[in-house]
Amino acid sequence: MPVDPRLKNKGIDELFEAILQLKNVEECYRFFEDICTVKELKAMAQRLAVAKMLEAGAKYSDISSQTGASTATISRVKRFLDFGADGYKLILERLRSEGTSQS
């Protein structure tokens, strides 16, 4: 699936190239602690948890109670799982194949 042209630019390319240089979870913590707020990191982690649960067939009420995500957030993640750029699907498949996905 092609990248949304509204997203593609040199600065974002450089950010993603920088992220690809990280070698382990500890390096990710160090980099993301500097570049993101705690709230931003928790929001991204929450969305990933929601995506995992949606893919597993969980109900919105269960997802909300376990992750603290609002139904609006759950709906947004569901929309991207169904109609997005397949980024969630890609990473969820890779996490499964690496055995690092914890449900």
Looking at CATH, the fold of the domain delimited by 44-103 is given as Trp Operon Repressor; Chain A (1.10.1270)
Query: Domain boundaries in the chain?
Result: 1-35, 44-103
Q: What pLDDT is attached to residue 4?
A: 85
Q: Give the gyration radius of the chain's Cα atoms.
A: 15
* Close Cβ partners of 85 (under 8 Å, ≥ 6 residues apart): 1, 3, 4
Q: How much is the pLDDT for 100?
A: 59
Q: Give pLDDT tens digits for 10-27.
A: 999 999 999 999 999 999
Q: How many CA atoms lie within 13 A of 58 on its CB side?
A: 21
pTM (2 decimals)?
A: 0.88
pLDDT digit string, tens, across residues 64-81: 999 999 999 999 999 999
pLDDT at 2: 77
